[in-house]
């Protein structure tokens, strides 16, 4: 295995461990994928992150038979939406799926997240949608997720969790953390009379002043603080 692929596999595992250590996710329910050339690398099914090694990461070719994979362990049961997102969106380099408490709470109530904070601009629009419910691992769930992600970098999955999509693994994880933070803040405002929402103009101004570099720098700082 070449160094670039080994490094990406290691980064996937590091991000899985960060995801659980930070409280964003619990147990083995989340999963992470990343694009490596013409293949998707994805965490294996039901494997504790502490015991995960780079060789265990499954590899799935984008132009091979749908669902074909290589590796010692089966890919995550949620490989379909990871695969469909990465294959369908050239802008996507990585997908982080988790069951964060506040995102999932809102998803159980089937509440999309409105523009409650200026950071919503990082998600591409005025709301982060909640995809309709479908059984985990199904093509139906993947279709719902892709639709909810149209023009967005994240969505909620009804009675399930969240998905964040980034150009890089770092960016996808940063978005997943940011979404859970906003979900928590939104949830709290619902307890004190409800939020005052930002206008389209407010979000447009934020989008305009958000250099993508600024967002990445903020994430690097976040990772540095966590480390």
For the CB of residue 99, give the shortest distance to Zn ion in the complex, in Å.
6
* 55-114 binders of Zn ion (CB under 5 A): none
Give the orientation angle of helix 169-191 with respect to helix 101-108, to 10 degrees: 60
**107 to 146: interface string for Zn ion, x by CB under 5 A:** ----------------------------------------
Q: How far is the CB of 192 from Zn ion (least distance, A)?
A: 30
Burial of 128 (0-12, 13-18, 19+ CB in 10 A): buried
Name the minimum Å distance from CB 104 to Zn ion.
9
Q: Which residue is nearest to Zn ion (CB)?
A: 161
Which of 78, 127, 178, 180 is flagged as catalytic?
78
Could you confirm whether 170 is annotated as catalytic?
Answer: no
Q: Indicate the residue among 75 and 161 with the shorter CB distance to Zn ion.
A: 161
Are 116 and 186 spatial neighbours (Cβ–Cβ below 8 Å)? yes
Pick 103 or 182: Cβ nearer Zn ion: 103
Number of residues that bind Zn ion (CB under 5 A): 1
Q: How far is the CB of 155 from Zn ion (least distance, A)?
A: 13
How far apart CA 196 and CA 27 sit, in angstroms, is 35
| Residues of this chain, 140-169, that bind Zn ion according to CB under 5 A | 161
Counting Cα atoms < 13 Å in the Cβ hemisphere of 27 gives 5
> Among residues 76 and 153, whose Cβ is nearest to Zn ion?
76
Q: Distance between CA 144 and CA 38 in Å, rounded?
A: 24
From residue 105, alpha-carbon distances to 17, 83, 127, 162 in Å are 22, 26, 16, 10
Cα 70 to Cα 73: distance, rounded to the nearest angstrom: 8
Would you say 138 or 216 has its CB closer to Zn ion?
A: 138
φ, ψ at 80 (rounded to 5°): -60, -50
Q: Please, where are the H alpha helices in the chain? A: 3-21, 79-88, 101-108, 139-148, 169-191, 200-209, 212-226
Q: Cβ(162)–Cβ(155) under 8 Å?
A: yes
In the complex, minimum distance from the CB of residue 160 to Zn ion, in angstroms, rounded to a whole number? 6
Of residues 93 and 161, the one with the C-beta less far from Zn ion: 161
Catalytically active residues, by annotation: 78
Kindly list the residues in this chain that would bind Zn ion in the complex (CB under 5 A). Answer: 161
């Amino acid at each position: 295995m070449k160094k670039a692929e080994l490094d990406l596999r290691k980064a996937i595992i590091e991000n899985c461990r960060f995801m659980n250590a930070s409280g964003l996710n619990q147990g083995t329910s989340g999963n992470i994928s990343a694009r490596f050339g013409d293949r998707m690398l994805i965490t294996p099914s039901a494997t504790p992150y502490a015991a995960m090694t780079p060789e265990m990461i499954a590899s799935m070719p984008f132009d091979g038979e749908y669902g074909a994979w290589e590796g010692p362990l089966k890919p995550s049961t949620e490989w379909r939406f990871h695969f469909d997102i990465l294959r369908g969106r050239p802008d996507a380099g990585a997908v982080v799926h988790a069951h964060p408490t506040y995102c999932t709470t809102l998803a159980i109530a089937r509440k999309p997240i409105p523009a409650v904070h200026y950071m919503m601009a990082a998600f591409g629009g005025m709301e982060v949608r909640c995809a309709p419910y479908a059984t985990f691992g199904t093509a139906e769930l993947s279709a719902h997720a892709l639709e909810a992600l149209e023009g967005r970098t994240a969505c909620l999955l009804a009675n399930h969790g969240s998905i964040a999509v980034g150009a890089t693994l770092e960016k996808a994880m940063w978005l997943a953390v940011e979404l859970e933070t906003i979900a928590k803040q939104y949830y709290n405002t619902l307890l004190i009379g409800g939020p005052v929402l930002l206008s389209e103009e407010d979000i447009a101004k934020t989008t305009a002043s958000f250099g993508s570099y600024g967002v990445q720098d903020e994430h690097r700082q976040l990772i540095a603080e966590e480390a």
